[in-house]
Each structure stands twice: as C-alpha cells, then as structure tokens.
Structure 1
Amino acid sequence: MEEIEVDPWIRKKIDVYDVYSIIGVLYSIPFVIIDELTLRRSREKFMKECRMIPCDNRKIIDEKSVPSLDFEPPIDILGSKMTPYLKGSSSQHMCTILDGIDDAGYTLEGVDVLVASETLHKIAGAVFHQETSWKLRAYLETVQNKKMIVLCDDDQEKIETGPARRFEQRVESQRLASLKFAQAWSQRGDLDPEESKISRITNPLIHGSRLVLANLKCGSSTLKMAVVGEVDMCTAQQSVNTAVMTGRPHRVNLGSDPDDVLDSFEYLWSRCFWIGLTNCLIGMRSDFSAPVKTVHRFDIKEYYHTSRKRFDNLIDVSTNCVAQVMNRLKEAVESVPNSNWIVQYVGRDEEFEPNNIKISKAPETHSFWLIREYFQIAEYELVTKKNQTAMAGKKNDVIPRVVHCPQQKRSRLSKIRTDTTDFAKQFHRLLKHITP
C-alpha cells in the first residue's frame, strides 16, 4: 500500500455526534512557559494556579437560566499581557503531552491515535478552507506497551527546534483577543474566602489543554483517539473556552455576510467540539478597540442542530472527512508498521474542483522518541545555559574582615602556624612513603 486517496466531499446523511463521540474526559494538562520552553507541573500545582473564575462571573457557566452577563465597568482586554506558547499540534507540543501523561500516571487504554484538536480541525479544513494546503506526519510508536499513532502537523523538515516564538507572531488576532478576554475576565472580582486560600485569581503563565478520549466512526470501523485541545479557563469541575465577537448582541456572526457567519461558527466549533465542550463564552463589543460589555453563553450543539442546513451541512461533511482520513490512516499504518506516513492536502485553485487528501509513505523513517529526546535535551541545555549566565552575572564581592588581636595573642598564633606547618610536612612524607 503506497498511497491512499480520500475524497473530503463525500456527503452522507449523518449526525456529527454519532460520528464523533466523547467517551471520557481525563484532565486539563498545564503548560507553564519558563525559559521559552514548556515545562511540566503536577495536576495539583496546576489546579492551585489555574485561572479561577470569580463567583459572580461563574453563574453564567453553572446556571442554565443565566444566558448572559452585563459588566460595569466593561472588560478592557487591550492592556492584558499574554505569554507565548507552543503551537498546539506540533511535534514539540505532542512530546510535552506524552510527558504530562507519564507524570500523571494515566493509562491510555485501548487508544489507537494521539492527536491534537488543531490537527483534526486542519483535516476538516479540506472542506471549510479548500484553498489552504497542509501536511501532517504520523508516527507509529510504542506508548505504554501498546502501538499507537502519534499525529503531528509539522513535517520532519520543518520541525521547530528553537525556542517558542512570541505569541503575537504565532496566533491570529482573533485567538489572541480570546485569550486576553479570558485572562481579564478571570481577574475581575474576588474569590470566596475558601478558594482564595488555595488559589490565585489568575496566572497569565498558564496555558491549559484538555485531554479527552473519543470514538470516531467511519462506516463499520471505529477508532479510539486521545484528543488534546486548548482551554482558556479551568475550574476544578470544568473547562471553558472563550471568544470575542464584534457586532450586534445575541449573534454569533461578525455581521450579515454569510461567509462571516460560517467562518465565525467554524472557529467556535473547532475550539469546542473536538474536546467535548458544548458551551463557549462570547464577549460582545461594539468595535475591535472597544471593551467587552456583555458576555453570552453560546451552545454549540444547539446551534448546530438549528443551523446545519444554513451551512449546507458543511459541519457533517467535514466531520465525515476527518473520520475517513483517520480510519484510512490507521489502515495504512497497520499495513506497513515500520514506516512513517504523510497526510497531505494540496489546496485547490478557485477555478478547479477540490483535491483529494493523500496518505502516503514518508521517504525516510524517524522515530518520534528521538524527536522527543531532542526536545528534552534542548530544554535541559537552555535551562542550564540560563542558570550559568545568571550565576556569572552575580558579583562575588569579598568584604574584608578586620580583626584586632593583642600582641600576646599574635605570638601564640605564630607558634600555632609553625607547628601546623611541621605537622603538614610530616603528613606529606608519610603519604609519599606509603604511596606505591
């Protein structure tokens, strides 16, 4: 089996919640950025430092009868600072995921594929964004004594081996505004006395990821996946993603343009659906520089069922496309287990029909464990170098100590020095005599 082609535009009368179903939520994995690399923290430490939502703000999440909240004064997100983080589906990020799973002692029982929600969203982009090209790489590795496919969205030739770049250079303004809004929203108000003892109101260094187990069906075949995706805010009970929209209240879209409607919903959908979140908190503002005055709870599942025909069933088609690709990839990897595989889509020209997604053998084989080891060494070397630089920058100032000794005491010290010197000479003669 040298190459498989998948048609992303196979239309079937399906419900996406039958094709893709969450069977278990594991936990939120912390990603703390220190020295421009992702380091691990224990879950207990993470839950003490994660962005805790003030009680007054939390009711929009906990109470179904509260669909929106108005803030006075409005939430200003322009001045919020954010920390850079790694691309959520890169090989470096996936290495950190495996490290976090190992540290937590969790067993991925029966899992066939470890993948990021961003990667699934990229595959679905063959339907939503037909002009955009992408390339994925699949590794078959032994994880926890079981063969598992690790799927990353950077090819071996383009792996980012340096430190993480600045957040603003990596993420579109829509995503950056969303995280700034999450940070500013969780900073408002005070925690109740019991929570404040064990929690901080916010920690801008933390970027959380939610790990879920999911089944993906394609015809009679079922694939079990461990999917990790971004989370903007976490409490001990649940995770929440956010978005910031500009336009009229109670509307998901950015305006009246149908393309804007689709792009807006597809953005919210991809951030929530693949990791099993049904609600997304949306901040509404009058223009791009204005503060957020109102926050609405948006039900992804409800909107899907009421608007699927409006979107020409693109949500169903894209989900079925992901199911095809993942199941055919599993079939290909099992047929030739000693190779890496490339999943590639070449974006079409606007004048031509959409291209097929191609699954083919990689020209060379690289072990994912070698890549993981490389990033661990790079992390160690960077931290060591920074520690050495910090130590070298410290001045070892010697403060002279002045001791006043009387004349009688000085003569005694002189005698002690002479006796000590003679004893040292005798000791060295003894060592020289017994040394062969």
Structure 2
Amino acid sequence: MRLLHTSDWHVGRTFHGADTLEALEDALGALARVVRERAVDVVLVAGDVFDSAMPAGRHVEALSRSLAAIREAGAEIVLSSGNHDSPARLGANAAFARAGGLHLSTAALDPASWRIELADEHGPVAVFAVPYLEPVALRAALPEAGIATQADAMRWAMDAVRASLVDVPARSVVLAHCFAAGVADDAVRVDEAVRLDDAPRDITAGGLDVVPASVFDGVDYVALGHLHSRQELSPSVRYSGAPLHYSFRERSPERGGWLVELDAEGLAAVEWIGLPVLRALTTVEGELAALLADASLDGTEHDWLRVRLTDRVRPLDAMRRLQERWPHAAEVSWIGGASAPQRQLRERLARRSEAEVVDDFLAHVRAGASATDAEAALVRELLARASAEESAA
C-alpha cells in the first residue's frame, strides 16, 4: 500500500494579507497528479484542513474541488481535524463521505471512530486518524484519565490505539496533530528548530507542550501535522509540513509530502515527494537605496520578500518603493543600524509565549518577583481554556 502523507493545508489562509487560494489549488492539483503517476492508494491529511473554524464559502468549494481531483486520480483520503478546524463543521456528513472514499475523523472523545479499515494484497491496514486533542476539553470530559498536557492527551490516545491493535491486529498508521520531538519522556527542553517553525505558539510556561516521539511506539508509521516544515523525528515518525509557505518563519524551502510504502511486514520505504513552490521566501538586509540597486538580487523579483532596513534614519514610504522592484514584498522592518546582539534580543522577545509575556509583566510590576508555581498553573489553565473556546467557536 502506498500512502501520501500531507498536513496543514490551511485552506483560506493568507500570506501577509495576500490571498493564497489559487496557489494552494495549484499545489493540491500537483498532489493529485502525484497520486496518478505514483499509483498512490491513500492520501493522508494530518489536521488543519481549513485555516478557520468558519471557512468562507469559496474556501469550502476549493477544498471540495481538490478532494474530488484526488479521488478521481485514484486515491482514498483520510483526513483528521486540527486545532484550526471546527470538528463539527468539518465532520458533517462524515458517514456519507465515507461511502465516496473520503474518511473524516473529528471526534476527539471517541477513539473507536479513529480506526479506518483499509486493505491491500497483503491484508488489512488500520489507519488511526487522531483529531487534535485539546487537553482542557479532555480533562473536563475524562477527569479520571489525569490529562494535564498535550503529551498526556497523546499518551491516552496511543494507549487506545495500541489496545485496538491488540484486539484486531493489523499493519498500522497513525495521524496526529501535535508538537512532537525526539526527546525523553521527562525532558523539558524544546529543540530550537521546533520553535522557529510557523506553528502556533504554545501556552505552556517556558516553551512548548511537547509530545516525546517515544509516545508513538508500537505502530508502523506516524503522520504528523502542526509544524509547517518537513521534519524527520525517526524513520517512522515524520512531519510533512504545509503545501505552501505561510510565514517567513518556516524553515524548509521544500514543499511536498512523504510517500510511505507498506509491505507485508509493515513499513518498507519512505520517499520525499516535492510539490512546486510558487514563490520562494527571501530575506534581505541593508539600506533601502542599496537594496533597490543591488544587482546580486536580480532574479528574486517574484519571491515573497522580507526586508530588514538598516538606514540610520527610517526611510519614508519604504514598502511602496520596494514593491516597485519586488511586487510581492510582504514584510518590512526597520532595525535602524541595531547591532547583531540587539537584533537577536528583539527576535527572542518576539518568540515569547503568552504565558511568558504574563510572567514578564508580573516580574516588572513586582520588582523582579515572577509568578509563583500556583499562579503559573492558573495562567496556563486560563490561557488553555481561552484557546479551547476560540477553537470551538
């Protein structure tokens, strides 16, 4: 069986205010061609199908066209909800869609519904499409489970997956939408590469609520979503990234998905399949006049451009002047000749989580005394609750 692992389509998302729908449809059209050319049996979408819980009508129509093209190319589709999706809206008519080869998984509290039975010439393949798991919602619904973090939520989910495989053995694939890293269960440090990717900031104090890759032990392949750049945590645990660039923070220039091949024994091979990149991401730094005249930048005129201006005096009308050469200049910042250490400090401050901002504020008004453990826990709880309510809206 051949499965194409994708995630984070974010239908309806813009790039610094620019509409990306046409570019996304082009990318997903290329994905449909891959399905036909490489005889892909199943396309996986590991969460964040839409960018909004209430997508516009034209975004729903665009998704429908793309899914129909993939089905016409010959693949079934397994799709799980992410933190940007509305499970109720995305999962509407799931039973009807299943008859047409589109398998929607959105019920976070119903592990039995995650299991999707497929088969090839070697026998059954169980695909477990785990929806995005909100720890606050799970804790309220399952107080006896002791779920406090995303890692706890995913351990609970994977226990259910492994129990299902004990009852009905099969080769297995899991879709999950979370932050995962190759760290020990008791680790608290987060790899800087995860921080730099364009995933939503987490609300835990001091970093990201990370799921150790070891939580996924016991299955043949894990198709992860949530980070927008491709990453390999182990041969069988990977992020595919998004099909388009949605932010300058995304680390990898490549866009595409992982072609996963299962044989009679389980995972046989994984191959990266690239998708066309409509616009590369380019960052330039210097004085405005020098940049506009820089011949070494010839050929970048169609890129998404981020500009850091070092002029001693802030230039007037900089964006308009830049867009005369680079029509897709998207972000301009004036760093005013700041030193490298000053720029690094600014960038570090810009990456603070919401909980870290609150803690810094408390330290400021308390003459250096930051939040107590109890206060930090309360802040995390309230921020998580607000995030859950926003996702469910």
Q: TM-score, normalised by structure 1?
A: 0.21
The structure with the larger Rg is 1
TM-score of the pair, normalised by structure 2:
0.22
